[in-house]
């Protein structure tokens, strides 16, 4: 019995020492601001705009979009102040104009062509992509609120999975068109993100044009400015 009690006492002492060591380690990591992975889910609420439209086309100010990305964060330093992230995501962009995307008469190229209100009083063209975003991330150490200032510089490559145009004419009739072979299947461009804690400002510019090379009357590019929310 004494041997059993002695063994139990020894186990408790060893367990207590291990617990103290683990607590010290956790505290040390927290003190130095180290976290293995950060900003793995990104939700972008965007304001979207097209650049290069014909002067006759009126573009509404309220173009909008949404992007959701799941990223894997690879720390490049022990304190996670520098890291590289790559992942996958989905993005949708809607542009509101008084034009329709149509072939120019007598040609095989497409363009945004202004329409009378009897044909299109309001409407939008929407593009949906699956994306591969990647970025280098730079962060400060945690402050007293356990938050960090953050800067991310990178880019994204996307594949078009759907393009459709919604039109409402002067009589209120609504229609949708889905066949847009002239729209580029791939898009790519640089991105930047800056913020504090779980809230950041974000920007993206599409270097690739809206229409495929040689299939658009104008070279049109898209850009997005928005707010990023990163819950974890």
Would you state the structure tokens that stand for residue 95, as one six-digit string?
A: 């542009």
Other CB atoms within 10 A of residue 131 CB? 20
Domain spans, the chain: 1-31, 38-229
Cβ(199)–Cβ(184) under 8 Å? no
Q: Note whether 96 and 62 are within 8 A (CB).
A: yes
38-229: what fold? Porin (2.40.160)
Best CA proximity match to 91, nearest among 27, 153, 162:
162
In tens digits, what is the pLDDT along the chain, a chain of 232 residues?
A: 444 445 444 434 444 444 444 444 444 444 444 455 789 999 999 999 999 999 999 999 999 999 999 999 999 998 889 999 999 999 999 999 999 999 998 889 999 999 999 999 999 999 999 999 999 999 999 899 989 999 999 999 999 999 999 999 988 899 999 989 999 999 999 999 999 999 999 999 999 999 999 999 999 999 999 999 999 8
Tokens of 29: 């990591």
CB within 8 A of 35, min separation 6: which ones? 80
6's enclosing H/E stretch is helix 2-31
The pTM of the full predicted model, rounded to 2 decimals, is 0.82
């Amino acid at each position: 019995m004494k041997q059993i009690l002695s063994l139990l006492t020894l186990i408790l002492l060893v367990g207590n020492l291990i617990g103290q060591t683990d607590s010290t380690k956790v505290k040390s990591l927290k003190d130095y601001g180290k976290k293995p992975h950060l900003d793995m889910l990104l939700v972008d609420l965007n304001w979207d705009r097209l650049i290069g439209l014909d002067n006759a086309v009126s573009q509404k100010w309220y173009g909008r979009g949404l992007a959701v990305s799941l990223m894997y964060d690879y720390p490049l330093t022990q304190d996670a102040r520098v890291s590289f992230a790559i992942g996958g995501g989905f993005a949708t962009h809607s542009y509101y104009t008084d034009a329709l995307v149509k072939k120019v008469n007598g040609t095989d190229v497409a363009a945004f062509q202004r329409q009378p209100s009897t044909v299109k009083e309001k409407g939008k063209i929407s593009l949906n992509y699956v994306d591969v975003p990647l970025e280098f991330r730079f962060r400060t150490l945690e402050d007293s609120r356990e938050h960090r200032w953050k800067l991310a510089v990178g880019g994204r490559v996307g594949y078009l999975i759907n393009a459709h145009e919604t039109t409402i004419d002067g009589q209120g009739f609504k229609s949708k068109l889905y066949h847009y072979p002239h729209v580029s299947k791939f898009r790519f461009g640089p991105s930047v993100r800056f913020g504090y804690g779980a809230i950041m400002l974000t920007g993206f510019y599409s270097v690739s044009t809206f229409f495929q090379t040689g299939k658009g009357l104008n070279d049109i590019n898209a850009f997005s400015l928005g707010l990023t929310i990163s819950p974890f």
